[in-house]
Amino acid sequence: MLSKIAFFETDARPDIAADRARLLPALRQRLQSIDRDAMVTPAPGGTLGACYDADISGEKRFLKTHLPGACARASLAREADALTQLYGNTVVLDRFEIPLADGTTRLCLMMPALAPLAGPLDPTDAATLADACSARLKDWRPDGLASFEHYLASAAKALKTLSSRGLLEQASAAEAGRLIALLEHRLVDLPEALCHGDFGPKNILLQDGALRLIDWEDAFRGIAGYDYLYWLTFMENRPFLQRAAFGRTGLSPDVERAILVLVVLLKSYLAVLSGEHLKHALSAQDRIAEILELPR
């Protein structure tokens, strides 16, 4: 999520739609060198990159590349590394360079066309998946990973922005601030883990019936249990909040509540930066109040 926040915080944002269109001919040429009848079409998704559906020799494929810049490229390379460590060569089938007319290149990942879930995971299954992926990547320490301190700093900025714009009531803002301060105070004693950073329904797919967690571009060194709590904050998972918010991470209830508040603050801040908050059915105040009022 921090990469999306950083993108919308800057005034010098690239034109994503134009960039995706510019990449398409070069990508099509690259794939048609393998199969002259290969078909490539833009696909939805990939907020900060370019995704495409492809048919190569009768096989459905999913292609993913990145925006211009070394940081975007490094993030995609980290994702490829994480997926390879988790799933061998079954998810990242190939990685190659796309040469562009300006002399630059883009890294591109080729994956199978994975299937979406039929419905929300059960909370137990979500927690198990998050823990299993974190455990398998516990020794993975690539360059450039954010830390939880970065999340705390962004949460403080989010709280200030939402409060100054009148999007949070004074009492809710004060309690949210207290919980963020609690996290900062206790951080040194909390269990560290590799976190996915965007552990949401759209990034949990199926491959021959097996769960696959994709989109590791926002991976960071965080707190064990963060990904599961993040998963609970998606709208389709709200029905689980009342019965599954506490007691599944090994963290104390006040820390679990604080992480939920931090995530909702960051999501609300991102929505304000992008303008998406104007379309939301629930306001930032509603969402924060819902977390603060959860019974233990």
Residue where the block lists tokens 């919308």: 8
Instruction: List, in sequence order, the alpha helices (H) in 45-104.
Output: 70-87
Residue where the block lists tokens 């040429």: 29
pLDDT attached to residue 72: 87
Is the confidence at residue 47, as pLDDT, over 70? no
> What CATH architecture is 123-292?
Alpha-Beta Complex (3.90)
**147 by DSSP, 3-state: which?**
strand
Residue where the block lists tokens 């900025």: 157
Q: What type of residue is 212?
A: R
Cβ 68 vs Cβ 104: under 8 Å: yes
Nearest to 93 by CA among 119, 59, 124: 59
pLDDT-above-90 percentage for the chain: 71
Average pLDDT over residues 146-167: 96
Q: Write out pLDDT tens, residues 56-95.
A: 999 999 999 998 888 889 999 999 999 999 999 999 999 9
pLDDT attached to residue 11: 67
Average pLDDT over residues 165-177: 97
DSSP 104: -
* Higher pLDDT among residues 292 and 20, named by residue: 292
Confidence of residue 131 (pLDDT cuts 50, 70, 90): very high
Which stretch of DSSP H or E encloses residue 106?
A: strand 105-112
Packing angle, helices 123-136 and 70-87, rounded to 10? 100
Give Cβ neighbours of residue 123 (< 8 Å, ≥ 6 apart): 228, 232, 240, 244, 248
Average pLDDT over residues 292-296: 92
**135 by DSSP, 3-state: which?**
helix
Rounded CA separation 49/72 (Å): 8
Average pLDDT over residues 112-122: 93
Rounded CA separation 135/174 (Å): 35
Cβ 36 vs Cβ 19: under 8 Å: no
Q: Write out pLDDT tens, residues 184-211.
A: 999 999 999 999 999 999 999 999 999 9
Residue 61, strand partner residues: 54, 112
Q: Across all residues in the chain, what is the average pLDDT?
A: 92
Q: Write out pLDDT tens, residues 143-153.
A: 889 999 999 99
pLDDT attached to residue 91: 97
Q: Write out pLDDT tens, residues 234-253.
A: 999 999 999 999 999 999 99
pLDDT attached to residue 1: 82
The CATH number of domain 10-113 is 3.40.50.2300: no
Rounded CA separation 35/61 (Å): 13
Confidence of residue 102 (pLDDT cuts 50, 70, 90): confident
Is the confidence at residue 54, as pLDDT, over 90? yes
Query: pTM higher than 0.85, yes or no?
Result: yes
pLDDT attached to residue 273: 92
Q: Write out pLDDT tens, residues 9-45.
A: 876 666 777 888 888 899 988 888 888 888 999 887 6
Average pLDDT over residues 90-102: 92
Structural domain boundaries in the chain: 10-113, 123-292
Residue 146, strand partner residues: 220
